[in-house]
Structure 1
Amino acid sequence: QHKQKPNRMALGFYTLKGCFMSIIKSALGRDEIREIDRKAIEEYEIPGIILMENAGRNVAEEVLKMLPETDKARVAIFCGKGNNGGDGFVIARHLYNKGVGVSVYLTTAVSSVLSDGDASTNLKILLNMNLEIKELQEGHIGEIGKALHGYNVIVDAIFGTGLRGEVKEPVRTLLAKINETDIPVVSVDIPSGLSCDDGVVLGTAVKATKTITFVAAKTGFFKECGKEYTGELIVSDISVPKELIKFT
């Protein structure tokens, strides 16, 4: 199955009235998204781990639609250190529970994630389930391309909307290796390496087949290189109170 780069913009899980222009008009930047998250957690008292669970479960459901029979399907999930990686851990759990062969690749040391925080909690759950977590070593990144050929889908949960500086090695090489495959890639919230606000590629970025973004589309999706890297766009409802989105 070859990687598709659809031009259409799809809306999943909830529908924004109107079409493409409505999606653009409702797009939000990094600071606006961060403020929505803050208010949801602090003012509405929604634990961040619930938002992470909703995000990860929604992505897992979309990935399942892309797979053949689940007892034969394999998915590689690349996770970073922050909340984007935490979403990836949730995705791994849900896919594993559906019978999918899951491989979790961590771009940092396990020990660096196992501190306080929602991502830490979800990583601990995977470890308690005895799922193998593979730490990517700098000297072996070049070999990852061969290892990926047995997978049906790649999930990109490395960097989220908070990325500002250029992607550094060895992750830079990893993103390039992912792009060299013909395997469909699902990016979580935003393709890793793409600037949330202006759509600039920060050194290198994942060219996603499908981007499942949360709460609202990001302004960078419609600027510079954004459209080229996001692929099919799905806006996913993670149960943030609608008032927060309406009055942002």
Structure 2
Amino acid sequence: MTVRSLAAAAALSMIFALSACGGKKDSVDTEEDFSAIPVPPPPPAPSGVSYDVRHCLTQEIPESEVIGGGHTVGQAIFPDTLTLDFNRPAGFPNGRLLTDQVVDIMLAYLFLDLGEEGARRFADLPLNPPSNDVALPAGFPFLAPAQGNPPRADRSGRTFDFVDEDDDQYDRVDRVGMPLVSTAIVPFERKPDYNDATPQEDVDGDFVGDVEDELTALTNSFADDLTSAGYRLCAAD
């Protein structure tokens, strides 16, 4: 199993989560839709292996130009919000830029000893494209022009179809405050509750046990692959 396989597992979890979005807006019921989807079994763990992942959540994120010292991984996850310090440069985890490799960085937060490996250990692997295939503009709308067929959309602003349904016609399928949290380390059956929750419920510790359990299961499954590849884990065996 490689780091690419680890990312694939997270992507698979996202696919199962997003499949609950189907149907018309007024017929979406997250609890019902999720209950109809079979829970994917976790990858088998090596026999007799069990890791303690508490240190993965209590370890400090290395100080950088975008974030000061003293912040732990757990503090970055709970509450699940996007933090922005205007006194520091923008860039994940201080906000996020379109070019930030947020999934790779979050995987390092969750599985690696950041003091030994650093937060960019996975991000710096030569697996991702070095840049966007079309240069991103420095100003609004910040996204590169659309490519391919059908032809580019009219930029006059007349072709937008804004939806103005009442709030109760929507279900939240991912809070997306911190990337990868809901999709990868919240248990499948708890995703609806987590995505419907508030930052205050995060602070109250409502999902700490769920995240620890899921991170433990993932670590037990992938630890041998990561250690055999030479990575220093944050979890203790």
TM-score (normalizing by structure 2): 0.25
Select the structure that is richer in strand. Answer: 1
Higher Rg of the two aligned structures: 2
Taking CA–CA contacts closer than 8 Å with sequence separation of 6 or more, which of the two structures ends up with the larger relative contact order?
2
TM-score (normalizing by structure 1): 0.24
